[in-house]
Amino acid sequence: MAKKENGQAPRAEGIALPPDLLTMLKEWSTAYKRSKELEAEVKRLAEEMGRLEGPILTGLEVAEIERLSMDGLTIYQQEQLWVKTGPEATPQMVAEALRKSKLPEFTTFNSQSLSSYLREQASGVAWEDPKELLDLLPKALRSIVEITNKQSLRARKSN
């Protein structure tokens, strides 16, 4: 590393760099700037999609449409059960209840893992309100967690 002059890091301007290094630096710099632009664009698009998702889900529900194809995509609604810490509980309380329940796959509370466990247990079970599924969880968990049914809009390439 070159010495600092006047407390500032050395700059490449005015330094004779080998042409191949300079070319690679310019390519890298261009790629870096472009990646930052694309990240910002992806963030903006995700926000726009999020803004549209609720009204679209409502419209599809009113029209009783589960899926449709357009623009080379199959757009569909996905419902997914999630287990989360209840309003009066902490993740530590849920973790302790899991340990007491003697479920070997759970040593700590992880919402994704516990939700996946619930989905497996609920497979083939008829229910209307997610709260009805609390009985599928160990007794120690029932009073300290909440079950929600999250709806989201998904898409995949059409055949």
> Could you tell me which residue, 6 or 57, shows the higher pLDDT?
57
Segment 85-125, tens digit of pLDDT: 999 999 999 988 888 888 778 878 889 999 999 999 999 99
Q: How confident is the model at residue 6 (pLDDT cuts 50, 70, 90)?
A: low
Whole-angstrom Cα distance, residue 77 to residue 153? 5
**Backbone phi and psi for residue 66, each to the nearest 5 degrees, phi listed first:** -90, -35
Cβ–Cβ contacts within 10 Å for residue 35, how many?
10
Domains of the chain by residue range: 66-157
The mean pLDDT value of the chain amounts to: 89
Length of the chain: 159
